[in-house]
Amino acid sequence: MRYLVGLPLLLPLVSAGVFPKDSLVQMLDAKSFKKAMKANNESSMVAFVAPWCGHCQRMAPEYSKAALGLHPLIPFYAVDCDADQNKRLCAEQGVQGFPTVKMFPRGDKETPVTYEGERSASAFYYFVTRRIPPTFTKLYKTQDILPWIEKTKDEKRTLLLTKDKKVPLLWKILSNKYEGKIQFGTHRDRKGKSSVALGFEAGEKKQSKVLFYSPGSTKPFRYEGLNKFESLSKFFDAVLDGTADLTVANAEAKAEEEQYEPTEEELEIQRKQEAQRMALLHGGFADLVDFEQAILSGNADSYHDTNGFGSPPPLKKKKKEEAATEPVDSEPVAEKVEAVPTNEESKVAKDEAEL
């Protein structure tokens, strides 16, 4: 799978008085706030802050870490309520103290949710990712797919065939973004049987397929571009504008996938994002800073063994004859092992931003 990462240099600079210079948090004023809230049903976090606020300054690094880990899927914004042009906006948002952090699930289309939890990167991460509105249809069985396709035949539809147990965050974000414009479905195709039933190859172990159905058609068209937020958004936008030929749009997406070669700067951002997502998923790695560094340097796979942690021991069932000799009320005490994520868990961070 190839990667496409947005560069932070393309984003507005944050306030040097509150957020780190390299932060991906975007500062908004009253005008740009209204514009951001009208953008494509977008889920976002907004921190209402003041430069003199000590709590804001202490929160800023953690808020920035969450912004890095979720870029470009969920934007993290901030509003300087000390600025005269923003005071009315902050009053309208009911800001009475600093910092006040709110999640906007679907821009200005849903009531924002005030964040009242711990001001840590992991807490921000879990708060926002668990509150993305569920605007997709989950198809549990292969035989559920064709009825869904038929039921929604008058609309534009897209179906994700994935090997993963959980619906990828990227798919949740996209379905929310295009809610009311494209019907989104998802199906776990663990062994590739559903792919074969729909006329495609089973696929590799982690390979996902994005299928698109034009209105009135029950024949799927497979998207062949990068399975990334920017690329999929570009493809769906081209389909929605009504002027793009589906074949041409897909050919352009495929050419982008074949020709794309990330720069060293993009790769560095990717490594930082992967490490940050890993840290967010596991509570910040307060005791595993070295492991985060191993991810950045590309040595995560061998980290456990070389540092003496090893892999968590597999759970083995006792033989029947051994179990028979055990007293009924005597449970074997499990050996305490270091809470270190396995290699499989390590893939979760990367999977958050791709399909």
DSSP string, 215-267: TT--S-EE--S--SHHHHHHHHHHHHTS-S-HHHHHHHHHHHHHH----HHHH
42 and 80 both lie in a single domain: yes
Contact between residue 118 and residue 52 where contact means Cβ atoms under 8 Å apart: no
Confirm whether pTM is higher than 0.95.
Answer: no
Q: Select from 203, 208, 195 the least CA-distant residue to 168.
A: 208
Tokens of 293: 């560094």
Angle at 72 (CA atoms; ends 231, 56), nearest 5 degrees: 170
233 and 293 both lie in a single domain: no
28 falls within a domain: yes
Kind of pairing, strands 76-80 and 44-49?
parallel
194 and 153 both lie in a single domain: yes
Angle at 126 (CA atoms; ends 123, 130), nearest 5 degrees: 145
Q: What is the pLDDT of residue 293?
A: 57
The radius of gyration of the chain from alpha carbons, rounded to an integer in Å, stands at: 23
265 falls within a domain: no
Q: Select from 148, 131, 132 the least CA-distant residue to 140.
A: 148
190 and 276 both lie in a single domain: no
Tokens of 178: 């295009």
Cα separation of 277 and 211, whole Å?
28
Of 129, 145, 168, the position where a domain reaches its end is: 129
267 falls within a domain: no
197 and 219 both lie in a single domain: yes
283 and 205 both lie in a single domain: no
pLDDT tens sequence across 328-351 = 333 333 333 333 334 444 444 455
Cα separation of 210 and 207, whole Å?
10
pLDDT tens series, the chain, 355 aa: 333 333 333 344 465 479 988 899 999 999 999 999 997 788 999 999 999 999 999 999 999 999 999 999 999 999 999 999 999 999 999 999 999 999 999 999 999 999 999 999 999 999 999 999 989 999 999 999 999 999 999 999 999 999 988 899 999 999 999 999 999 999 999 889 999 999 988 876 667 899 999 999 999 989 988 888 999 999 999 889 876 677 777 777 777 766 767 777 777 777 777 777 766 665 544 334 444 555 666 655 554 444 433 333 344 444 444 444 443 333 333 333 333 334 444 444 455 667 7
Which residues have CB under 8 Å from 89's CB, separation 6+? 29, 30, 33, 79, 81
212 and 282 both lie in a single domain: no
- What are the phi and psi torsion angles at 244 (to 5°)? -85, 135
Question: Which domain does 292 fall in, by range?
Answer: 272-351
Of 229, 259, 289, the position where a domain reaches its end is: 259
16 and 56 both lie in a single domain: yes
Burial 35-49 (b: 16+ CB within 10 A, else e): ebbeeebbbbbbbbb
- What are the phi and psi torsion angles at 309 (to 5°)? -80, -40
Q: What is the pLDDT of residue 27?
A: 96
Burial 160-197 (b: 16+ CB within 10 A, else e): bbbbbeebbbbbbbbbbbbbeebbbbbbbbeebebbee
120 and 157 both lie in a single domain: no
What are 80's strand-pairing partners? 49
Contact between residue 164 and residue 351 where contact means Cβ atoms under 8 Å apart: yes
Q: In Å, how far are 34, 94, 176, 334 from 109, measured between CA atoms?
A: 12, 18, 12, 50
Contact between residue 304 and residue 290 where contact means Cβ atoms under 8 Å apart: no
141 and 240 both lie in a single domain: yes
Q: What is the pLDDT of residue 62?
A: 95
Alpha-carbon 203 to chain mean position: 23
116 and 191 both lie in a single domain: no
Kind of pairing, strands 157-162 and 209-213?
antiparallel
Cα separation of 255 and 142, whole Å?
31
pLDDT tens sequence across 136-195 = 999 999 999 999 999 999 999 999 999 988 899 999 999 999 999 999 999 999 889 999
96 and 186 both lie in a single domain: no
Cα separation of 349 and 343, whole Å?
11
291 falls within a domain: yes
**CA neighbours closer than 13 Å in the CB half-sphere of residue 54:** 0
Contact between residue 25 and residue 64 where contact means Cβ atoms under 8 Å apart: yes
Cα separation of 245 and 226, whole Å?
18
3 falls within a domain: no
Q: What is the pLDDT of residue 268?
A: 74
Of 129, 160, 191, the position where a domain reaches its end is: 129
Q: Select from 82, 62, 59 the least CA-distant residue to 70.
A: 62
Q: What is the pLDDT of residue 350?
A: 54
Q: What is the pLDDT of residue 270?
A: 72
Q: Output the domain CATH number for residue 101.
A: 3.40.30.10
302 falls within a domain: yes
266 falls within a domain: no
Q: How many domains does the chain have?
A: 3
